[in-house]
């Protein structure tokens, strides 16, 4: 009777304090193996609140120890313990530990499905595990792998909710954003359009969710270089944001619109838009810095270099003070500023800014893909300025990071190997150059196709390297003879 009353008290507890008090009483009566589910519930509650991850971890470990007695007969509570351990370790930035627990949880859930456990019981936990796996892989810079987990999340929601559910709309947008993060705009487009369709139907054309969908759709169209369509979507999003008085989102949308105008060559119009935005920002705010960067881009395209540099200098003064507050955002801004200096042929300044960018990104494991891209740019600029020996370690580092993030056959990896080949050729190491050009050609064959101009160039470079080695026989590249 005492055990029954204690269990009832614990089950009726609503706050964490009430649950812990009831659990303390249960510890005096129950054996440790009987406290497994209660430990799990407290761990889940603590994880949901997110205030004391170490305490949540303690209860999660205790629950797993009590419940995981027979690995040959998996149970749903064990899978939930493993998912909880994955979630808490993720909060504590112990990504490898988190990944291990989540992979095991995924295997347990797979076995439960094979054994015929009800889908309604398994699906919520399976969705949580897949979402956590995506979060962890993104945090580790393994974004291409994370996409697969996000696709599974969407599949689970499609089997769970009605086809016009808001949950499905958000899941489609989340997947579109993930594709945008790896610059795969073509794959992002249908998911973004689906999210817009669902939200427009369920919430109306003037809803905030529709505004966010249209903002993302504008970014996707920009990535596809369909800038007129991008600007149209951006304008529609701005109207909705203005109606809802979402001023911060509206400012960001106006900056995006100006960047789209720059892409379309409408520089005066872009400058006019940015002049209107800059007066709405605080003096030392990150938003003002971003406005000035876009302003500089427009002026640079008009070859107004003195005005461009003034904008960049003011922007750098603001960003320098915000490195500790917003390291990733500042790093992105530094990278963009470096491009303006590169356009003005001030390569040393561009390289210095990229090195500052790299220093910030190296402390952010989830930005491994950005770190790789920045290393690649530094390597290319060093190569361009004749500092070939210094370029090689940056290019090698970039290749490894981008392979981990996007997979070994990503076109970006191919370009890096092509640059490595050029570096080795410059150093009169044709055999090493030939190896790099061969890898570049293989990657580009897969990612761009054998008839793409860059694939043909890699093929020609390989032929040149063979020539330097004294191997003058014909070298065939798909349908082309190099």
Q: Which strand (E) or helix (H) includes residue 144?
A: helix 143-160
- Asked whether 443 and 411 are in contact (CB, 8 A), the reply is yes
pLDDT digits (tens, 9 = 90+) for 148-173: 999 999 999 999 999 889 999 999 99
Q: Is the backbone of residue 204 left (phi > 0), alpha (psi -120 to 50) or beta?
A: left
How far is residue 189's CA from residue 176's CA, in Å, rounded to a whole number? 7
CB-based contacts of 338, cutoff 8 Å, min separation 6:
349, 350, 351, 353, 354, 357, 377
How buried is 204 (Cβ within 10 angstroms: 0-12 exposed, 13-18 middle, 19+ buried)? exposed
> Is 408-482 assigned to CATH 1.25.40?
yes
pLDDT digits (tens, 9 = 90+) for 66-88: 998 755 567 899 999 999 999 99
pLDDT digits (tens, 9 = 90+) for 254-264: 999 999 999 99
Nearest to 214 by CA among 167, 162, 272, 169: 169
CA atoms within 13 A on the CB side of 356: 22
- Residue ranges per domain, the chain? 408-482
pLDDT of residue 141: 81
pLDDT digits (tens, 9 = 90+) for 264-313: 999 999 999 999 999 899 989 999 999 999 999 999 999 999 999 999 99
């Amino acid at each position: 009777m005492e055990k029954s009353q204690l269990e009832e008290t614990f089950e009726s507890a609503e706050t964490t304090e009430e649950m812990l008090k009831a659990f303390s009483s249960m510890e005096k009566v129950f054996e440790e193996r009987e406290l497994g589910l209660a430990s799990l519930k407290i761990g889940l509650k603590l994880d949901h609140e997110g205030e004391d991850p170490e305490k949540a971890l303690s209860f999660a470990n205790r629950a797993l120890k009590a419940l995981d007695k027979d690995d040959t007969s998996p149970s749903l509570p064990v899978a939930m313990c493993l998912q909880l351990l994955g979630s808490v370790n993720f909060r504590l930035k112990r990504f490898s530990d988190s990944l291990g627990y989540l992979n095991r949880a995924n295997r347990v859930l797979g076995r439960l499905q094979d054994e015929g456990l009800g889908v309604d019981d398994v699906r919520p936990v399976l969705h949580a595990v897949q979402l956590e796996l995506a979060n962890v892989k993104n945090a580790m810079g393994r974004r291409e792998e994370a996409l697969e987990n996000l696709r599974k999340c969407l599949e689970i929601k499609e089997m769970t909710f009605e086809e016009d559910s808001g949950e499905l709309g958000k899941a489609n947008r989340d997947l579109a954003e993930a594709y945008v993060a790896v610059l795969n705009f073509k794959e992002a487009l249908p998911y973004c359009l689906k999210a817009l369709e669902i939200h427009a139907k369920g919430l109306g054309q003037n809803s905030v969710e529709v505004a966010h969908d249209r903002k993302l759709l504008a970014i996707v169209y920009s990535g596809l270089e369909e800038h007129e369509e991008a600007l149209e979507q951006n304008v529609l999003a701005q109207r909705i944001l203005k109606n809802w008085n979402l001023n911060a989102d509206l400012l960001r949308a106006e900056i995006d619109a100006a960047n789209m105008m720059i892409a379309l060559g409408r520089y005066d119009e872009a400058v006019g838009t940015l002049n209107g935005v800059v007066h709405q920002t605080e003096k030392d705010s990150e938003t003002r810095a971003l406005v000035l960067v876009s302003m500089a881009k427009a002026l640079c395209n008009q070859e107004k270099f003195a005005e461009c540099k003034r904008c960049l200098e003011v922007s750098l003064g603001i960003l320098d003070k915000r490195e500790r507050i917003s390291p990733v955002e500042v790093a992105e801004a530094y990278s963009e500023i470096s491009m303006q200096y590169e356009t003005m042929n001030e390569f040393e300044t561009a390289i210095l800014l990229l090195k500052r960018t790299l220093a910030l990104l190296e402390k952010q494991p989830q930005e491994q893909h950005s770190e790789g891209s920045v290393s690649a740019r530094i390597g290319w600029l060093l190569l361009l300025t004749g500092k070939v020996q210094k370029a090689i370690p940056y290019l090698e580092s970039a290749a490894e990071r981008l392979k981990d993030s996007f997979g070994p056959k990503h076109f970006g990896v191919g370009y890096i190997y092509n640059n490595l080949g050029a570096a080795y050729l410059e150093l009169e190491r044709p055999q090493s150059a030939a190896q790099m050009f061969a890898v570049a050609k293989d990657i580009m064959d897969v990612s761009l196709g054998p008839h793409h101009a860059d694939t043909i160039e890699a093929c020609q470079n390989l032929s040149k390297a063979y020539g330097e080695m004294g191997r003058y026989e014909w070298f065939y590249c798909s349908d082309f003879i190099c």
